[in-house]
Amino acid sequence: MIIVGLGFLGMLLSLFSSFALIGEGYGVLGAILLGLAALEAVVLVGLLKLQFWAFAIAIVVYSLGVILDLAAGQLFGPLISIVIVSYLLTISNRFDYSSP
């Protein structure tokens, strides 16, 4: 899925931004962004397998990512997150709702 590749790019941007924020003295925001990037990595694996739990978490994580990326001063990161959420909502019927 191309969307997973795009998600991986967004995760890398969040990862680098979190390190920059921590280095500039904004440790709390940087740590939150770092945790979000780690969660995005886990969600991307679930999205590859079309698991419903990954779909549900991805909607929350990437929506939250828009806000945090904007707070971190990113412009490209929020755009990636918006594209991912929009795409996931259009293909929501493909996810396996029977999996735990």
pTM of the model: 0.80
Q: Which pLDDT score is estimated for 63? A: 92
Residue 62 is assigned to a structural domain of this protein: yes
Residue-wise pLDDT tens digits, 6-30: 889 888 888 888 898 899 988 888 8
Residue 74 is assigned to a structural domain of this protein: yes
Residue-wise pLDDT tens digits, 63-98: 988 888 788 777 888 898 899 999 999 998 888 777
Instruction: Give Cβ neighbours of residue 55 (< 8 Å, ≥ 6 apart).
Output: 46, 47, 88, 92, 95
Residue-wise pLDDT tens digits, 33-61: 889 889 989 999 999 988 999 999 999 99
Burial label, 97 (beta-carbon count in 10 A; 0-12, 13-18, 19+): exposed
Q: Tally the C-alpha atoms within 13 A of residue 89's C-alpha that lie toward its C-beta.
A: 10
Its domain, for residue 53, covers 2-92
| Count of domains forming the chain | 1
Residue bearing the bigger pLDDT, 62 or 99: 62
Residue 18 is assigned to a structural domain of this protein: yes
Residue 98 is assigned to a structural domain of this protein: no
Q: Which pLDDT score is estimated for 42? A: 93
Residue 99 is assigned to a structural domain of this protein: no
